[in-house]
Amino acid sequence: MVRRDPGGRLFPLSRRTPAGKSDVPPTGAAVRSAKLAALPVAYAGRRVAGAGRRVIGRSAAEVDRDIRERTAQHVFAVLGEMKGCVAKLGQMLAIYEFALPADVAGPYREALARLQDSAPSMLPATVHAVLADQMGPRWRSMFLDFDDRRPASASVGQVHRAIWHDGRAVAVKVMYPGARQAIGNDLTALRRMAPMFNALLPGADSRSVIERLCAYISEELDYELEAAHQSRFAEAYADDPDFVVPRVIAQYPDVLVTEWLDGTSLSRLIARGTPFERDRVGLLILRFLFSGPTRAGLLYGDPHPGNFRVMPDGRLGVVDFGACAPWPPGYLDMVKDFAPAMLRCAPDELEAAIRRNGYVAPGRPLDMDTVIARIAPLRDAVLAPTLELDSRWMRRQMAAVTDLSVTNVLRQLTMPSEHTTVARTAVAGLGVLGQLRAAIPLRREYERWFPEVVATLADVRPG
């Protein structure tokens, strides 16, 4: 089986991978499980050692801070080394920092930034072997230059800057050898964890949600599908005044070549940007997420700081289109059904909408007064001209979501598994905007991109 590149040459589509070395992620289920199991053991050891340090005179606050820093560094070092689903978990943890006090979240934020920006890299010899396997032994002839230095990491691949044979600067995304095996093992482990999720969220059909998540993650191993997604976005946003999506140049089973984007990383803007800069970029991220289904026919599924760039001309550059999906069938009809009930927050009407759309198990009781108390702040945020995503607001909302106490009414609710993709984008997008501490015109953008939902509210007054 062969594929023809843009220059007309044929290269084999072999699925072989070069022999693994220490610079590639561990793939064996036993090895990966052992690395994860070591995390709580190491944490317990630090707690014991901390007790000893307190005995010899160090303050409890100083010792606890040291334990958090060491634990954060260890956790994200392991996540970065293992890649795959586990690294995706590390990216998703960004949102949960808002459920923690600032002094507790700080070490985890710093370690997460290191995971996103400087995870362990494949050595050049390994990269060259993958390129030779995928593009053929004369792979260098496709490039005028290939930079082995300072590669950017991704959950299942590594990105290098190069110059294509026609002079264009390109990004070359190379999948880690063994990534499919590693992710397969991770997904098997995730499926086995379904009973644990049932204990945490007893109202949810955890198994079907996990199966949907597994299918979603598996798609990120398909560079052909990613190339198709990216091409749709690139065409939809071509010459856009607000956004830049790099075009796809070539694609092989484990290699994806796209246009290169030069720009300022979002992590730098989060750390040092002015309020005006953060608000402006926050608006662009919100607009991109909202406009994708209308303009490209797809929901962008992986909003995290590593996938956005602020271009020199001020536009927002977007990369990594492995995690995209269309609206689930009937999703907007569900939103239109929910919207009037949520706006009025009338208990009987809202409960009927929740049950009608499958957000609670049949026959399960609901404390609607508490449900409304949880939903009303989110409704008010949508209605406000500007939503200020400061740390206090984010912490209150995330504390409500992540509260595992039996009395948390959100544990009574569930979600249709097909809506998981939308929920992932919403939660991750909220995490990015929260990190930016952006003030965003949520209501205005929602009205712009979802007029069919807004039309259902024409005669409805908030409760």
Q: Give me the pLDDT at residue 281, please.
A: 97
- Rounded CA separation 173/329 (Å): 32
Of 104 and 64, more confident = 64
> Is the predicted pLDDT of residue 179 greater than 90, yes or no?
no
pLDDT over threshold 70, residue 335: yes
Digit-coded pLDDT (tens) for 181-227: 777 766 676 666 555 555 445 555 666 666 766 676 777 788 999 99
| Burial label, 379 (beta-carbon count in 10 A; 0-12, 13-18, 19+) | middle
b/e per residue 261-297 (b: at least 16 CB within 10 A): bebbbbbebbeebeeebbbbbbbbbbbbbbbbbebbe
Q: Which of 460, 15, 454 is nearest to 224 (CA)?
A: 15
As a whole number of angstroms, the distance between CA 345 and CA 375 comes to 8
Average pLDDT over residues 110-139: 76
The pLDDT, as a whole number, for residue 133 is 95
pLDDT average, residue stretch 440-456: 93
pLDDT above 70 covers a percentage of the chain that reads 62
Q: Indicate the SS3 state at residue 240.
A: coil
Pick the more confident residue, 215 or 448.
Answer: 448
pLDDT at position 443 is: 92
Reduced to 3 states, what is the DSSP secondary structure of residue 300?
strand
DSSP code per residue over 112-132? HHHHHHH-----HHHHHHHHH
Q: Which of 43-57, 151-165, 328-342 has the lowest mean pLDDT?
A: 43-57
Reading the block at residue 408, the tokens are 């948390």
Residue 121 has pLDDT above 80, yes or no: no
| 95 has a pLDDT exceeding 90 | no
Report phi then psi at 38, rounded to 5.
Answer: -70, -20
Reply yes or no on whether the pLDDT at 247 is more than 90.
yes
Q: What is the pLDDT of residue 205?
A: 61
Q: How far apart are CA 111 and CA 69, in angstroms?
A: 8
User: What is the per-residue pLDDT for 392?
Assistant: 73
The overall average pLDDT reported for the chain is 76
Cβ-in-10-Å burial (0-12, 13-18, 19+) of 445 comes to: middle
More confident residue, 142 or 388: 142
> Which pLDDT score is estimated for 70?
60
Q: Is the pLDDT of residue 393 over 50?
A: yes
Of residues 128 and 322, more confidence is placed in 128
In angstroms, the Cα distances linking 48 to 42, 45, 107, 142, 362 are: 10, 5, 20, 56, 47
347 burial via Cβ count (<10 Å: 0-12, 13-18, 19+): middle
Residue 367 has pLDDT above 70, yes or no: yes
Q: Between 7 and 392, name the one with better pLDDT.
A: 392
Query: How far from chain centre, in Å, is Cα 309?
Result: 15
Q: What percent of the chain has pLDDT over 90?
A: 37
Q: If you average pLDDT over residues 280-286, what whole number do you get?
A: 97
Q: Identify whether the C-beta of residue 247 lies closer than 8 Å to the C-beta of residue 233.
A: no
Residue 347 scores a pLDDT above 50: yes
Q: What is the pLDDT of residue 65?
A: 58
Q: Rounded to whole angstroms, what are the CA distances from 293 to 232, 327, 349? A: 11, 7, 29
